[in-house]
Chain A
Amino acid sequence: MTPAFLYALVGIVLFSIGLYGLILYKHLLRKILAINILGSGVFLVMVALAARTGDAVPDAVPHAMVITGIVVAVSATALALALMLRVDAETGQAVLPEDREE
């Protein structure tokens, strides 16, 4: 097993943990964190798979993609956090209506 393959595997594990958290946790902050873990999983897979040629110089294209992906993830997280605060202010709980506990 090459280190790159191990990293990719960890990425897939992170992706699954994120998916699990996103679906099962009710609090919006946990959901937002879960999305970020899931995204990090994808980025880790991309970075790890960039070492596909086996020699010392990895492929730079996936790195460029990951940077773009991080920019997108940061903006999305900012928007999500702002929305979460508004949900909390409007409804008194930072959860979606279907997850409310009365």
Chain B
Amino acid sequence: MLIDSPHWISIIILLPILGAVASFLWRQHIVKIALTTATGTVISVGILSWQVISNGVQCYELGAWNAPLGIELYVDGLSVLMLLVTAVVGFAISIYASAYFEGNKSKHFWPLWLFLWSGLNALFVSSDIFNLFVTLEIIGLSAVALVALSGGAKAITAAMRYLLVSLLGSMLYLMGVALLYHSYGTVDMVLLSLRTEMNPAMWLIMGLMTVGLLLKTALFPLHFWLPAAHSSAPVPVSALLSALVVKASFYILWRLWIVVFPLDNDAQVGLGFILGVLGSLAIVWGGVKALQQTRLKLLIAYSTVMQIGYLFLAFPLASIMGWKAALYFILAHAIAKTAMFMVAGNILIHKGHDRIADLYSTVQHLPLTIVAFSLSGISLMGLPPSGGFVAKWLLLEAAIVSGQWWWGIVLLVGGLLTGAYVFKVLGYAFIQENSTNEPRPIGISKRMEWTALSMALFAIVLGFIAPFVLGIMDIGSPFTKGSL
């Protein structure tokens, strides 16, 4: 049967690469090729997810060479959810971008985006630390080129800084890979989890890999490159970077932390505390900076700095429930942030600028867009019944169960700060003003308004399908050591 075929794992990687090359070669049909590829990729991810949900963990040995020599692909509940959120966000952005880009930019956007998608899919199914390095580089290089796409001094310098930071992060990670291979003779995560032990070399490895990946994930205070890069990129790219790309390096760190690093529970809580404190600082700093911004896209970019902070609150808890909360944060943030950047894009085209103080009358002209902003804001704040609420609820519960109630205060402060900047924007958008000297606003494509709204609605729906999603998280129990 086609649907039971084991090859879907490789198809989700191959298909976007082929689409990228095809869309580069046949430029007159670029949008058709790209949208077909996007649809095909979503269907393949859907079939693979169905296989995992009904039959459990799926493994695939590339070219039938098995580990340690060959490269093994591995899909459990965590991978499936990352693949699914990439597919949902990726498909929505493809639809949005088909209306957003025109002419020359479209020609450059599609191949790069499809390469990026392929890299993301490959990353989420790899269980080999060197393969992860390669996928990380595919993602990094295409993401940098995508940032530079909008042209102009701001975007180019942001892309340049992003590239240097990203390369430094990869090299630190690669040094860790080299030392791990030297010490334990394998790059396979499963074998590494059986062999690693605590010694001075291991501390060095953990330090190199963690710092390298934190640079790419932009955890405070290593977030300095993020606001410029995410806000000066074209809107669909900003959405991709905030929703998916920063999560990719986080995913690797997560897997290493749970599976490869030989941390017992005390060490996890102790070292995790440092990450938790940095995460809390990210939440407060990102929230305050977001409030101070006068441009909508920069505000949303700082909101990403803040939301990354939430992910790290799970580290000191070191419990399965805490990890589930972090995963729910990833899903909820990816969907809501995509919607929010799409809203910013709609406003940018409609008004010709994104100055928050001059957003008056937006609600009359773009009612759907403002509804989308409010709904995604609800999810970011963590109000019920949204996806963000489930994430915060799980994290709070995990914090109380492990006796570390103080992380709850951080959650509360974060929620208030998010509320403040969301309402600041809404406040301006609801002001009615009939000025005549303002240039006539430009109408925008219905497709862009509706994709923004559907993503925002999905961010809310994520709160209702929580039992289903949490069930998927248990497949292959990805959050316990020795699970892979």
Q: Do A86 and B148 touch across chains, with their CB atoms under 8 A apart? A: yes
For residue A90, CB closer than 8 A to chain B, the reply is: yes
In the bound complex, CA of A75 to CA of B134 (Å):
12
A-B pairs with CB below 8 Å: how many? Answer: 84
Which positions 55-92 of chain A face chain B at CB distance < 8 Å? 61-62, 65, 68-69, 72, 75-76, 79-80, 83-84, 86-87, 90-91
Instruction: For B152, give the chain A residue with the smallest CB separation.
Output: A90
Q: Do B141 and A15 touch across chains, with their CB atoms under 8 A apart? A: no
Q: Do B178 and A83 touch across chains, with their CB atoms under 8 A apart? A: no
In the bound complex, CA of A39 to CA of B168 (Å):
9
Note all chain B residues with C-beta closer than 8 A to A72: 134, 137, 170
Q: Do B163 and A62 touch across chains, with their CB atoms under 8 A apart? A: no
For residue B181, CB closer than 8 A to chain A, the reply is: yes
In the bound complex, CA of A65 to CA of B180 (Å):
13
Q: Do A97 and B141 touch across chains, with their CB atoms under 8 A apart? A: no
Note all chain A residues with C-beta closer than 8 A to B141: 75-76, 79
Q: Do B148 and A38 touch across chains, with their CB atoms under 8 A apart? A: no
Which positions 122-154 of chain B face chain A at CB distance < 8 Å? 130, 133-134, 137, 140-141, 144-145, 148, 152-153
For residue B469, CB closer than 8 A to chain A, the reply is: no
Note all chain B residues with C-beta closer than 8 A to A91: 153, 157
Instruction: For A77, give the chain B residue with the smallest CB separation.
Output: B167
Closest-CB distance, A23 to chain B (whole angstroms): 9
Closest-CB distance, A7 to chain B (whole angstroms): 12
Which positions 59-99 of chain B face chain A at CB distance < 8 Å? 69
User: CB < 8 Å: which of B157, B171, B182 contacts A97?
Assistant: B157
Q: Do A46 and B178 touch across chains, with their CB atoms under 8 A apart? A: yes
User: CB < 8 Å: which of A32, A38, A62 contacts B171?
Assistant: A38
Instruction: For B134, give the chain A residue with the smallest CB separation.
Output: A68
The answer to whether A83 and B159 touch (CB under 8 A), given A72-B137, A76-B167, is yes
User: CB < 8 Å: which of B140, B160, B167, B175 contacts A96?
Assistant: B160
Q: Do B137 and A42 touch across chains, with their CB atoms under 8 A apart? A: no
Instruction: For A19, give the chain B residue with the smallest CB separation.
Output: B168
User: CB < 8 Å: which of B140, B152, B156 contacts A83?
Assistant: B156
Q: Which size bracket describes the interface of B in this complex?
A: 20 to 34
For residue B164, CB closer than 8 A to chain A, the reply is: yes
Q: Do B164 and A80 touch across chains, with their CB atoms under 8 A apart? A: yes
Interface of A is mostly: helix
Q: Do B164 and A35 touch across chains, with their CB atoms under 8 A apart? A: yes
In the bound complex, CA of A97 to CA of B232 (Å):
14
The answer to whether A49 and B181 touch (CB under 8 A), given A76-B137, A76-B141, is yes
For residue B174, CB closer than 8 A to chain A, the reply is: yes
User: CB < 8 Å: which of A31, A61, A69 contacts B174?
Assistant: A69
Fill in one digit per residue for B171-196: 1 if any A CB lies within 8 Å of its CB, else 0. Answer: 10011011101100001000000000
Q: Do B161 and A96 touch across chains, with their CB atoms under 8 A apart? A: yes
Note all chain B residues with C-beta closer than 8 A to A39: 167, 171
Note all chain B residues with C-beta closer than 8 A to A46: 178, 181
Note all chain A residues with C-beta closer than 8 A to B157: 87, 90-91, 96-97
Note all chain A residues with C-beta closer than 8 A to B153: 87, 90-91
In the bound complex, CA of A45 to CA of B175 (Å):
8
User: CB < 8 Å: which of A38, A83, A96 contacts B168?
Assistant: A38
The answer to whether A83 and B171 touch (CB under 8 A), given A28-B160, A68-B134, is no
Note all chain A residues with C-beta closer than 8 A to B156: 83, 86-87, 90
Closest-CB distance, B245 to chain A (whole angstroms): 16
Closest-CB distance, A68 to chain B (whole angstroms): 6
Q: Do A15 and B175 touch across chains, with their CB atoms under 8 A apart? A: yes
In the bound complex, CA of A38 to CA of B156 (Å):
24
In the bound complex, CA of A28 to CA of B171 (Å):
18
Q: Do B168 and A79 touch across chains, with their CB atoms under 8 A apart? A: no
Instruction: For A53, give the chain B residue with the smallest CB separation.
Output: B185
Closest-CB distance, A2 to chain B (whole angstroms): 13
In the bound complex, CA of A22 to CA of B164 (Å):
8
Instruction: For B182, give the chain A residue with the smallest CB separation.
Output: A49
Instruction: For B159, give the chain A residue with the smallest CB separation.
Output: A83
Fill in one digit per residue for A90-102: 1 if any B CB lies within 8 Å of its CB, else 0. Answer: 1100001100000
Which positions 1-31 of chain A face chain B at CB distance < 8 Å? 15, 19, 22, 28, 31
Closest-CB distance, A30 to chain B (whole angstroms): 11
Note all chain B residues with C-beta closer than 8 A to A83: 144, 148, 156, 159-160, 163
Q: Do A80 and B175 touch across chains, with their CB atoms under 8 A apart? A: no
Q: Do A79 and B163 touch across chains, with their CB atoms under 8 A apart? A: yes
Note all chain B residues with C-beta closer than 8 A to A38: 168, 171
Closest-CB distance, A70 to chain B (whole angstroms): 12
In the bound complex, CA of A31 to CA of B159 (Å):
14
Q: Do A35 and B174 touch across chains, with their CB atoms under 8 A apart? A: no
Note all chain A residues with C-beta closer than 8 A to B174: 42, 69
User: CB < 8 Å: which of A65, A76, A87, A97 contacts B130?
Assistant: A65
Closest-CB distance, B198 to chain A (whole angstroms): 20
Instruction: For A62, give the chain B residue with the smallest CB separation.
Output: B181
Note all chain A residues with C-beta closer than 8 A to B163: 76, 79-80, 83
Can you sample 13 A-B contacts with CB below 8 Å? A42-B174, A45-B175, A46-B178, A61-B181, A62-B181, A65-B181, A68-B130, A68-B134, A80-B164, A80-B167, A83-B159, A83-B160, A84-B160
- Besides A38-B171, A83-B163, 6 other A-B contacts (C-beta < 8 A): A42-B174, A61-B187, A65-B130, A80-B167, A83-B156, A83-B159
